[in-house]
Amino acid sequence: MTMSSPEVTSVAWGHMTVKGCSSTYKDCKVWPGGSRTWDWRETGTEHHPGVQPADLQEVLDKGAKVLVIGRGMNMALQVPASTLDCVAKRGVDVRVLQTEQAVAEYNALARQGIKVGGVFHSTC
């Protein structure tokens, strides 16, 4: 059975909700079939140098064929070229956008039935 990517139903400063999940997230990861909090402490992520390959591993392992990264409302979160290279080496299309734009892109892809995953930062 193919799992669809859940819709991100709302995004505002410091708050995100995902369809089928009772939790409210500050930062979140979504993938075909699920979602969870994106806890930067797990990988030591900071705004600089930014998103690390380890932040994306879980979403890629869950079967995402396209990955959307939300850099924050003011795009303060960096995404190093080395991280993008790691994703590209797995044959996954990656899109990096301001978070509200990233959520819109993610939801559009999910509605098309594409196995899309995302990591979204909802503040700065």
Nearest to 51 by CA among 70, 64, 74: 70
- Beta carbons within 8 Å of 33's beta carbon, 6+ residues apart: 3, 4, 5, 6, 62, 63
Query: Helix, strand, coil: what percent of the chain each, to 5?
Result: 25, 30, 45
What pTM does this model have? 0.95
Q: Which CATH architecture has domain 8-121?
A: 3-Layer(aba) Sandwich (3.40)
Q: How high is the pLDDT of residue 117? A: 98
pLDDT at 2: 57
> What is the block-wise mean pLDDT of the chain (124 residues), using blocks of 10 residues?
84 95 93 95 93 97 97 97 96 97 98 96 95
